[in-house]
Amino acid sequence: MRLSLRFVLPLLLVLAAIAYAVSPMVDQLTLRWFVRDLDSRSALIANAIQEPLLEQLAAGRKAKTGDFFNRISQDERLFAVGYCATPDTPMLASRSLPKQITCAELARWTGPGEHLLASEQGPLHVAVHPMTSAAPADAAAVPGQLVLVHDMSFITRRSEETKRYLVYVFMALGAAVSLITVIVAQLSWRGWMAGVRALLRGEGLLRQPEINPPPSLPGFKPIARDLQRLISELESENRARDESQLTWSAETLRTILHGELRGEDVIVVSNREPYIHQRRGERIEVQRPASGLVTALEPIMRACSGTWIAHGSGSADHEVVDKNDRVAVPPENPAYHIRRVWLTPEEEAGYYYGFANEGLWPLCHIAHVRPIFRSGDWAQYIAVNRKFAQAVVSEAKTKNPIVLVQDYHFALLPKMIHEELPEATIISFWHIPWPNPESFAICPWREEILAGMLGSSIMGFHTQSHCNNFVDTVDRFLEARVDRESFNVSFGGKRTSVRRYPISIAWPPDPELLQKCVPECRRHIRELNDLPPEHKLGIGVDRLDYTKGILERFRAIERLLELKPDWIGHFTFVQIAAPTRSGIDEYQHHEAQVRTLATRINARFERRGPAPIILKIEQHAPPLVYEHFRAADLCFVSSLHDGMNLVAKEFVAARDDERGVLILSEFTGAARELPEALIVNPYDADQCAAALHLALSMPDMEQRDRMLLMRGLVAEFNVFRWAGRMLLDAATQRRHSRLTDMPGTSTL
């Protein structure tokens, strides 16, 4: 309202000034019109009265002429009439003729015509008309002039009236313009305010979808596009600031969820569940699986709450869920829910063991194990993906949830969710490598897999080379539009952003894992393994998977002992290998190979002291794993191909004493982030042996320098950043789609 007054008052003042300036001009104009009117009126009257006047003059009836003139001047405007025979004679006139008009005075005027005169009675119009005779013969005998005097005061009255009307008109005009302006201003102000508020809430600037779908505003189209661009720029500026200034923590992540995503519910889908309930006789034991995916996502879910949908694979899983198949976890301090999905043995065999782990796993890892593709497995893979899609739909509280789809078990799920919940933001993350197009080509259902993944809003990989491979593969096998500058793929009318999000671990690590001091860990773990106190110790922690390069690792140890026999009896490598996928032939075969090789190497060097390799094929709880990390002099990660490998980062996190050496395969995603590790090619036994020797003899200062740099990296690029970046990108996409879905706007 104040704004409207601020606008209306000046407008009214301007209009008043215009009225004031215009009125003299109007006065002049109307005066000219009226004088012209009086001129022609006088001429008319003069013509009309000339004949009777001539007759009366000719008849010498002067008294009658006076009456005649008096009668005529009773007209409202004709003030007086007079006749002058000569300049010297007195004027024959009506009574009302002003005294200053005499025949002598008329003779001094410039001649016949019209004159304006000021008199006691007011302004007068005096018209002098020469008399003419109807009979030419008498013309000389008809001298004299007729004088017609009109009252002009009515002109002044009219002018006053006109001025008054003019003021009224301008006032009415001002009021009308003000009213229209105020209404328009109020409407647009409200619209802009709503837009700005929406922007501040993180919605599209010109849209409040839940309240009022906006009408199509073609006029705003260019503005919307500019705004969109502006938002993008601001976002990228903010992102740069975020990256450099934010210390990512569980709290930061919670703030992002509540601020950027307004606390929306997050649904995670993975095959492996974070807590497995196993029956052990009378009691139920809670197990934590050996899984990089679980290691990364669990702290995220603790921070964000929400629902984690996963396969219920534990023998007591059924016993602990509610009627909706949900259980609150972590058991000691519940923060989120697991929604369990039950699979039949046939489904598990076809989808998990078959298609996912005999087909896609070796296909993507290129670890020289042939992928096996069976149509029966494919059918189960489709059916199980569909089952999980239904679970997502039933868990979604809104029509646009944020769904985090995890890994190669669910390549088809993004498309299925998108079909059911087109407004959902689906972020898929592929935890394993993506091969080059030639390697991927051998999958018989390659097009279906790619189309399924492109149901995602964002498709994430650990490294840029995996993103490149994926985009190349899509380009090769699908009719899709691939934008290599923005790394966006458009397929079937849907756009997917392909992005790199290097996964990590929680930072700082859980204090419970670091509770025991390093000397205590060194002592305890050596005792546990019957090793002397100062014995050099190496550690490897993996699932017993052929991609982890455990055989290559053992061969490197053997080579070290061949090349540097001084280490025989003074160095032992403890390999913790969690059993995995043991229903698959290849894994059984691999386990047998690992056991045989360890036995052979030990047999070869054991006689000169403790065994060089201690193989523990069993699941170890995180506190015991961390104790091993803290007790070791080196950690050896020799994956033949690995998306990231979080064991490398966990070892770094465990070493708050800033000691210990990491030997890391160049074929892991982690090698790109931790160049201070000793980077090796696991296929090169000599090189790995040299790295082992270097690690065992590395001075404390160098260990410290390397470890400090690696710890700094892991602290900064922790798992909260991994999840936070994905969620921020999801928030950005949601803002963009609100803007671009608006009628009358187009995609960037």
Spatial CA neighbour of 538 closest among 660, 642, 444: 660
Q: What residues between 163 and 182 interact with ligand F6P by CB under 6 A? A: none
Q: Is the CB of 271 or the CB of 732 nearer to ligand F6P?
A: 271
| Alpha-carbon gap, residue 146 to 80, rounded angstroms | 11
Q: Does 547 bind ligand F6P (CB under 6 A)?
A: no
Nearest-approach distance from CB 466 to ligand F6P, in angstroms: 13
Shortest CB 653 distance to ligand F6P, Å: 17
Q: How far is the CB of 623 from ligand F6P (least distance, A)?
A: 20
From 606, 604, 613, 616, select the one nearest 577 (Cα to Cα): 616
Determine contact, residues 641/656, Cβ cutoff 8 Å: no
Query: Which CB contacts under 8 angstroms, 24+ apart, belong to 316-322?
Result: 316/277, 316/278, 316/279, 316/284, 316/285, 317/273, 317/276, 317/277, 318/342, 319/277, 319/279, 319/284, 320/277, 320/284
Q: Is 497 in the site for ligand F6P (CB under 6 A)?
A: no
Q: Are 287 and 619 in contact (CB under 8 A)?
A: yes
User: For ligand F6P, which stretch binds (CB under 6 A), given 37-45, 94-102, 289-297, 735-743?
Assistant: 289-297
Q: Can you spell out the DSSP letters for 590-653?
A: HHHHHHHHHHHHHHHHGGGSS-SEEEE-S---HHHHHHHHHH-SEEEE--SSBS--HHHHHHHH
Residue 529 in tokens: 């393994």
Q: Does 348 bind ligand F6P (CB under 6 A)?
A: no
727 binds ligand F6P (CB under 6 A): no
When asked if residue 580 is in the footprint of ligand F6P (CB under 6 A), the reply is yes
Q: Which of residues 427 and 432 has its CB atom nearest to ligand F6P in the complex?
A: 432
| Shortest spacing between CB 290 and ligand F6P, in angstroms | 7
Query: How many residues interact with ligand F6P (rule CB under 6 A)?
Result: 11
Candidates 97-105, 218-226, 286-294, 618-626; binding stretch for ligand F6P (CB under 6 A): 286-294
Buried b (16+ CB within 10 A) or exposed e, 344-364: eeebbbbbbbbbbbbbbbbbb
Under rule CB under 6 A, residue 385 binds ligand F6P: no
Q: Does 504 bind ligand F6P (CB under 6 A)?
A: no
Q: Taking Cα atoms as reference points, which of 464, 471, 461, 452 lies closest to residue 409? A: 452
Residues in 216-245 at the binding interface with ligand F6P, rule: CB under 6 A: none
Min separation Cβ 365 and ligand F6P, Å: 10
Q: How near is the Cβ of 292 to ligand F6P at its closest, in Å?
A: 4
Report the C-alpha gap between 112 and 84 in whole angstroms.
12
Pick the stretch among 44-52, 290-298, 465-473, 740-748 that binds ligand F6P (CB under 6 A). Answer: 290-298
Residue 291 binds ligand F6P (CB under 6 A): yes
Minimum Å gap between C-beta 193 and ligand F6P is 48
Between residues 581 and 649, which has the closer beta carbon with respect to ligand F6P?
Answer: 581
Interface stretch with ligand F6P, choices 103-111, 285-293, 524-532, 697-705 (CB under 6 A): 285-293
The answer to whether 292 contacts ligand F6P (rule: CB under 6 A) is yes
Q: What is the nearest approach in angstroms of ligand F6P to the Cβ of residue 294?
A: 6
What's the rounded Cα separation, in Å, for the pair 534 and 523?
Answer: 9
Cβ closest to ligand F6P, residue 82 vs residue 502: 502
Tell which residue, 597, 609, 550, 555, has the closest CA to residue 575: 550
CA distance readout (Å), 458 to 308, 472, 501 = 19, 17, 11
CB of 580 to ligand F6P, least distance (A): 5
Nearer to ligand F6P, 543 or 590 (CB): 543
With 0-12 / 13-18 / 19 or more C-beta atoms within 10 angstroms meaning exposed / middle / buried, residue 607 is exposed
Structure tokens at 308: 């984690």
Pairing of strands 425-429, 402-406: parallel
Q: Which among 589, 656, 580, 584 is positioned nearest to 618, based on CA atoms?
A: 580
* Closer of 82 and 452 to ligand F6P (Cβ): 452
In the complex with ligand F6P, which residue's Cβ is closer, 42 or 313?
Answer: 313
Q: Which is nearer to ligand F6P, 430 or 491 (CB)?
A: 430
Give the single-character DSSP code of 566. Answer: G
| CA–CA distances in Å: residue 256 to residues 69, 196, 259, 266, 340 | 102, 20, 5, 12, 27
What is d(CA 202, CA 51) in angstroms, rounded to the nearest whole number? 95
Tell which one of 272, 311, 415, 466 touches ligand F6P (CB under 6 A).
272
Footprint of ligand F6P on 427-486 (CB under 6 A): 431-432
Q: What tokens appear for 647 in the block?
A: 């064991």
Q: Which is nearer to ligand F6P, 340 or 431 (CB)?
A: 431
State which residue, 69 or 353, has the beta carbon closest to ligand F6P: 353
Structure tokens at 589: 């075969």
Q: Which is closer to ligand F6P, CB of 350 or CB of 610?
A: 350
Q: Binding ligand F6P by CB under 6 A: which of 581, 630, 736, 738?
A: 581
Least separation in angstroms between residue 313's CB and ligand F6P is: 9
Q: Is 293 in the site for ligand F6P (CB under 6 A)?
A: yes
Q: Does residue 313 belong to the site contacting ligand F6P (CB under 6 A)?
A: no
- Contact map string, positions 527 to 546, toward ligand F6P, x by CB under 6 A: ----------------x---
Nearer to ligand F6P, 461 or 605 (CB): 461
Evaluate whether 556 touches 638 at the Cβ level (below 8 Å): yes
Q: Do 743 and 472 contact (CB within 8 A), yes or no?
A: no
Q: Closest residue (Cβ) to ligand F6P?
A: 291
Residue 495 or 581 with smaller CB distance to ligand F6P: 581
Nearer to ligand F6P, 293 or 301 (CB): 293
Least distance (Å) from ligand F6P to the CB of residue 431? 4
478 within 8 A of 491, measured Cβ to Cβ:
yes
For 2, the 3-state DSSP assignment is helix
Smallest gap, in angstroms, from Cβ of residue 477 to ligand F6P? Answer: 24
Three-state secondary structure of 14-56: HHHHHHHHHHHHHHHHHHHHHHHHHHHHHHHHHHHHHHHHHHH
b/e for 485-524, b at 16 or more Cβ within 10 A?
eebbbebeebbbbbbbbbbbbbbebeeebbebebeebbeb
Binding segment for ligand F6P (CB under 6 A), chosen from 2-10, 169-177, 209-217, 288-296, is: 288-296
H, E, C per residue of 423-437: CCEEEEECCCCCCCH
Stretch touching ligand F6P by CB under 6 A, among 65-73, 105-113, 208-216, 291-299: 291-299
Among 151, 264, 377, 407, binds ligand F6P (CB under 6 A): 407
**DSSP structure class, residue 270:** -
CB of 662 to ligand F6P, least distance (A): 19
x/- mask, ligand F6P, residues 603-642, rule CB under 6 A, reads ----------------------------------------
619/279 Cα distance (integer angstroms): 16
Asked whether the beta carbons of 655 and 711 are under 8 A apart, the reply is: yes
Position 340 contacts ligand F6P (CB under 6 A): no
Per-residue binding string, ligand F6P, 417-436, x by CB under 6 A, is --------------xx----
Q: Provide CB contacts within 8 A for 388, sequence distance 6+.
A: 269, 309, 341, 410, 413
State the minimum distance, in angstroms, from the CB of residue 385 to ligand F6P. 15
Give me the least distance between CB of 405 and ligand F6P, in Å please: 12
Residue 365 within binding range of ligand F6P, rule CB under 6 A: no
Separation of alpha carbons 728 and 74, rounded Å: 95
- Write out the residues near ligand F6P by the rule CB under 6 A: 271-272, 291-293, 407, 431-432, 543, 580-581
